[in-house]
């Protein structure tokens, strides 16, 4: 079971590799945000990191910085799977051909798994809508689902964490938590309640999403709660 994923959001390849080296001992998974790198690369990370790797190339229409064609966006994700990446992230709202392309690559890979993700930056939809999004991910063939909303009040957090109960009934691995100040607690609670994985940053100054904790802070909270440290 993977638990803590550290997101690397540097623009320089050298800085990104240095950041990975810094946090690898505390990470269960390392996410490389290709859309944030000035020159996207796969092989340097595959060669340098002895941790499961997740590659994400987030488009502008879902909060990322990739602004090119869909073909160019998928190319490094396919290459990552061919080079042995454990995970690639693709947005649920991506065109159907994009999903099919990565599903084929995952099937042909040795260990790759597809995360279908959906992010809502404005707020948290109703619980039935959240369940519907999860169902779409499962129907589309995702190995793992990821639903991240923005919390404005405690009820938003409760709604998203409640999704984990539904996912457990379906035996569907799900990543689910909230962004924003009100959602910080969900980043810790999610994995304690059965979530597949939570995300954190290299440091407080290098967050890749609102409300993200540093990996050191998250591991400290785990130690206080009696959890195992990496």
The yes-or-no verdict on residue 52 having pLDDT over 50 is: yes
pLDDT for 31: 97
* Whether the model pTM is above 0.75: yes
- Does 141 map to a domain? yes
226 φψ region: left (φ > 0), alpha (ψ -120 to 50), beta (else)? left
Angle 166-170-176 from CA coordinates, rounded to 5°? 45
pLDDT for 209: 78
Give residue 1's pLDDT band: very low, low, confident or very high (50, 70, 90). low
Q: Is 2 annotated as a binding residue?
A: no
Q: If you average pLDDT over residues 15-22, what whole number do you get?
A: 93
pLDDT for 205: 80
- Name the average pLDDT for the chain: 93
The yes-or-no verdict on residue 227 having pLDDT over 60 is: no
- d(CA 69, CA 59) in angstroms, rounded, equals 10
Q: Is 147 annotated as a binding residue?
A: no
Q: Is 3 annotated as a binding residue?
A: no
The yes-or-no verdict on residue 113 having pLDDT over 90 is: yes
E strand or H helix that includes residue 146: strand 144-150
- Does 135 map to a domain? yes
Which residues are known catalytic residues?
Answer: 119, 146
pLDDT, tens only, 124-173: 999 999 999 999 999 999 999 999 999 999 999 999 999 999 999 999 99
- Does 204 map to a domain? yes
Tokens of 30: 């390392």
- Does 230 map to a domain? no
pLDDT for 230: 40
Sorted by sequence, the CB contacts under 8 Å of residue 103 that are 6+ apart come out as: 114, 141
- Does 160 map to a domain? yes
Checking DSSP bridges between strand 53-56 and strand 87-91, what pairing results, if any? parallel
What is the largest distance, in Å, between two alpha-carbon atoms of the chain? Answer: 46
Helices 154-170 and 127-139 meet at what angle, rounded to 10? 40
Q: Is 104 annotated as a binding residue?
A: no
Domain ranges, residue 121:
4-225
Tokens of 131: 């369940």
Residue 62 belongs to domain with CATH number = 3.20.20.70
- Does 194 map to a domain? yes
The yes-or-no verdict on residue 191 having pLDDT over 80 is: yes
- d(CA 230, CA 219) in angstroms, rounded, equals 8
- d(CA 50, CA 52) in angstroms, rounded, equals 7
Q: If you average pLDDT over residues 69-84, what whole number do you get?
A: 97
- d(CA 9, CA 52) in angstroms, rounded, equals 17
Number of folded domains that form the chain: 1
Give residue 229's pLDDT band: very low, low, confident or very high (50, 70, 90). very low
Percent of the chain's residues with pLDDT above 90: 86
- Does 114 map to a domain? yes
Q: Is 120 annotated as a binding residue?
A: no
Give the rounded distance of the alpha carbon of 163 from its chain centre: 17
- Does 117 map to a domain? yes
Q: Does the CA dihedral 44-41-187-165 come out positive or negative?
A: negative
């Amino acid at each position: 079971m993977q638990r803590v994923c550290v997101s690397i959001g540097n623009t320089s390849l050298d800085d990104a590799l240095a950041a990975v080296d810094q946090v690898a001992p505390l990470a269960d998974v390392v996410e490389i945000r290709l859309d944030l790198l000035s020159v996207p690369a796969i092989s340097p990370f595959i060669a340098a990191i002895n941790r499961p790797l997740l590659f994400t190339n987030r488009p502008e229409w879902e909060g990322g910085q990739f602004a090119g064609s869909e073909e160019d966006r998928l190319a490094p994700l396919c290459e990552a799977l061919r080079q042995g990446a454990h995970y690639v992230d693709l947005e649920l709202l991506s065109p159907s051909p994009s999903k099919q392309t990565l599903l084929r690559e995952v099937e042909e890979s040795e260990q790759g798994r597809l995360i279908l993700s959906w992010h809502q930056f404005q707020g948290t939809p109703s619980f039935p809508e959240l369940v519907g999004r999860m169902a779409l991910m499962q129907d589309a063939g995702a190995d793992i689902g990821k639903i991240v909303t923005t919390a404005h009040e405690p009820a938003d957090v409760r709604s998203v964490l409640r999704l984990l109960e539904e996912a457990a009934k379906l035996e569907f691995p799900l990543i689910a938590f909230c962004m924003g100040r009100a959602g910080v607690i969900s980043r810790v609670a999610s994995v304690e309640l059965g979530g597949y994985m939570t995300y954190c940053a290299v440091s407080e100054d290098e967050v890749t999403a609102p409300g993200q904790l540093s990996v050191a802070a998250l591991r400290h909270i785990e130690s206080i709660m009696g959890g195992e440290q990496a």
